[in-house]
Structure 1
């Protein structure tokens, strides 16, 4: 869908922040994402492109999930400290399931993993050796490139697996949506806020799959891209090459009661069904502060 087709007067009047958005460079690469404690890295070649990110906060109620692929809501959490892992595990996931079910109109929602992300220096944390690192419930840096966390195979399999595990006596589902629910819990303005891309402005032709490898230590040299049997069936994200038609948004000065819900994958492709996203360095507002945020992956089911 061309950018002109999504032009809207209320959107054209939005304040614009300059940004560098990192995309997969043109060319053919082995694209993988390696994650370990406090650090993440991609193979392939990436490049930063000058873009504008529009500020959607003054028109926050304009955005809808099925039109844009994202929406901003409000929610007061009972969790006072998101660094308190037992409390997050005990309270927050239930909150997310109830909230997402209400926001999207699903029959039920299953929350999966959560992650804290911060723009603070994680160098020392990344140096700590771990055994059996699990990519959930930890602290990672902000996302570094335009991506969607699932490709279609990953999303479809995740939905089937999660529904069977969580709702074995359910009647089955006719539609699923893989989501992220994202909120900051640091004061605004944040130095590295999250930007989301209007899903109507992306197409399959600029995409590639980025296979996920969760590791205790990063491989080096040729081992980073050496062939792995069955890689095309492994968990993978979708990454994007730059196109001028991509239309980026963010919500400045988000508070702890603001929640950003955006799609990884919607099985209904008659509506906007995915939302690329990434962090960007916001230089447009003074006195920006270190960002701390929490995100929860979840899948909503329509029965």
Structure 2
């Protein structure tokens, strides 16, 4: 599939300023000269995203992502209307599935439940923050960096620092369509073995309404190899590692991509973020 991915431009300003982004308007901030919502600039780069033929051939510790076949029960309508009521049950399902497939983890705790529903006009019009659901994310990134993981844990598990300080853990995402199968704006994964961690990655402060999270963004490289699963169905879970406490393991850099051949309705998806302790 020939499409495009948003990358961070190799801007000289990033040599003297740390990259940062915000996800809320700053129009109300008056009297502050030069205030910016971000100091990074995105560029569209044409890429080939290869269709995954055998999902079983992808390994979390090699490529940064893998696929699991598992049935999960989540009513799409209740997910939107009764989010707080259904997320705990879905969290428990995902935790149990991960424990079964990754017995090396001694403890797994979910902390985030995100719904995405593509606006029919996205990305021409991006309506910004929506508390009920989000649009796909088209920039190449990993949700957390090595330092960003503990920041999120401090926010989500307040007063429980002693449970993770000094421990080895992974920050994991589990993603699947909310309704499927779907091939609209699929989530593309970059094979970690094709990434230069020294040259291709940028640490970014993602400034949100209630916390600051450090994530990792990507510069373009012709060496990157992108892949997607065609007609992704609800019983196929995409599992990827955003970061780990040691900064040594494969990570799943990802981006939603426009499929020029899609015939289905706008994509809806659900993702769970978890911390998995060794």
> Do the two structures share a fold, i.e. TM-score over 0.5?
yes
Deviation digits for residues 103-155 of structure 1, max 9, x if unmatched? 3321110101111112124899958xxxxx9x9x7301101200111122112
Q: Which has the higher helix share?
A: 1
Mapped contact 1:190–1:290 kept (Cα < 8 A): no
Mapped contact 2:243–2:249 kept (Cα < 8 A): no
Mapped contact 2:3–2:258 kept (Cα < 8 A): yes
Cα offset for 1:240?
Answer: 0.8
Which residue in the other structure is 1:177 paired with?
A: 170
Give the Cα–Cα distance (whole angstroms) in 2 for the partners of residues 275 and 185 of structure 1. 21
Give the Cα–Cα distance (whole angstroms) in 2 for the partners of residues 22 and 94 of structure 1. 34
Q: How many residues of Structure 1 are paired with residues of Structure 2 in the alignment?
A: 256
Mapped contact 1:188–1:289 kept (Cα < 8 A): no
Residue ranges of structure 2 left out of the alignment (5+ in a row):
26-36
Cα offset for 1:242?
Answer: 0.3
Give the Cα–Cα distance (whole angstroms) in 2 for the partners of residues 184 and 270 of structure 1. 30
Query: SS of 2:193's equivalent?
Result: helix
Give the Cα–Cα distance (whole angstroms) in 1 for the partners of residues 164 and 203 of structure 2. 32
Task: Specify whether residues 126 and 18 from structure 1 end up closer, same or farther in structure 2 by C-alpha distance, changes over 3 A only.
Answer: closer
Query: SS of 2:94's equivalent?
Result: helix
Mapped contact 2:183–2:262 kept (Cα < 8 A): no
Which residue in the other structure is 1:61 paired with?
A: 56
TM-score for both structures, normalised by structure 1: 0.74
Query: SS of 1:140's equivalent?
Result: coil
Cα offset for 1:238?
Answer: 0.7
Query: SS of 1:204's equivalent?
Result: coil
Q: Identify which of 196, 200, 204 aligns with 2:193.
A: 200
Counterparts in 2 of 1:40-189, with a 5 A limit?
43-56=39-52, 58-81=53-76, 82-83=79-80, 84-105=82-103, 106-121=105-120, 126=127, 138-158=132-152, 174-189=167-182
Cα offset for 1:55?
Answer: 1.1
Task: Specify whether residues 249 and 23 from structure 1 end up closer, same or farther in structure 2 by C-alpha distance, changes over 3 A only.
Answer: same
Mapped contact 1:117–1:294 kept (Cα < 8 A): yes
Mapped contact 1:110–1:162 kept (Cα < 8 A): no
Deviation digits for residues 196-237 of structure 1, max 9, x if unmatched? 111122213222222122249xxxxxxxxxxxxxxxx94221
TM-score for both structures, normalised by structure 2: 0.80
Query: SS of 2:147's equivalent?
Result: helix
